[in-house]
Structure 1
Amino acid sequence: MGQSKLLASIVVGAAVGAALSMLDRTTREKTIASTKRISETVSYYAANREELQELIQEKVTAAQSFYESASENVNMLVEKADEFKEFPSTIQDMISDTKSAFSSSDKE
């Protein structure tokens, strides 16, 4: 029951806030212009569904391409990180070999 009062209060607060913001002429004009533009866009795509489908397909294809590219980049970074993990042991081996080489040349 507490949740229903909360939700109702949020809805009422949003409605009151929207109504108060409409008292400002600039806000009212921008809202009307935006609503007209959205209405025209919806009407256009309602009449031209094929174009809307093509637009959506283009966006989906672009998103898939972006995902694949990002996935390849992440895989490459993971591989590089794995290579860097091996560096300390490789460097340690090189230091040991160098130490051994200098130690054996000092004995001679």
Structure 2
Amino acid sequence: MKSKLVPAIILGALAGAALSMLDKQTRQHTMETSKKVKDTFAYYSQNRDELQELIETKMEQAQSLYANVTNNIGSIMEHVDDAKTLPSTVKSLVTETKDAFSKSNS
């Protein structure tokens, strides 16, 4: 038996979209957005070099962001390792201080 889930989801999405178009502001916003998308596609279809430069710039930004995040994660992990050893260091310091005061009071 064939699944009816995907067709039902598509039908529901279409019905929801149709109902949302009853609102005037939604229709206006949809028309404005559609016009902007159409204009953008038309512009970049005429200016493919600029589109390629834009894509390259975005790729470089993404690579830079990835490198920064990777470095930050490495730095955080180093600090976590340092923080794990901190309680034993503090404990020994407190013990030494306590012993020093005990000896001086005796």
Normalised by the length of structure 1, the TM-score is 0.81
Unaligned runs of 5+ in 2: none
Question: Residue 89 in 1 paired to residue 104 in 2?
Answer: no
Cα deviation, 1:18-67, whole Å, max 9, x if unaligned, reads 22222333222221221111011011111111111111111111111112
- How far apart are 1:105 and its partner, in Å? 4.4
In 1, Cα distance between equivalents of 2:46 and 2:28: 27
Aligned to 2:22, the other structure's residue is in SS state coil
Range moving further from structure 2, 44-53 or 87-96? 87-96
In 2, Cα distance between equivalents of 1:12 and 1:2: 16
- How far apart are 1:2 and its partner, in Å? 5.1
In 2, Cα distance between equivalents of 1:106 and 1:21: 82
- How far apart are 1:106 and its partner, in Å? 5.2
In 1, Cα distance between equivalents of 2:5 and 2:23: 28
CA gap 1:104/1:45 in 2 versus in 1, 3 angstroms: same
Q: Percent of counterpart pairs with the same letter?
A: 44
Match for residue 54 of structure 2? 55
Match for residue 66 of structure 1? 65
Match for residue 33 of structure 1? 32
- How far apart are 1:76 and its partner, in Å? 1.2
Normalised by the length of structure 2, the TM-score is 0.82
Match for residue 10 of structure 2? 11
CA gap 1:99/1:25 in 2 versus in 1, 3 angstroms: closer
Amino acid at match of 1:75: G
CA gap 1:19/1:95 in 2 versus in 1, 3 angstroms: closer
Range moving further from structure 2, 31-40 or 88-97? 88-97
In 2, Cα distance between equivalents of 1:20 and 1:34: 18
Aligned to 1:20, the other structure's residue is in SS state helix
**Alignment RMSD, CA only?**
1.9
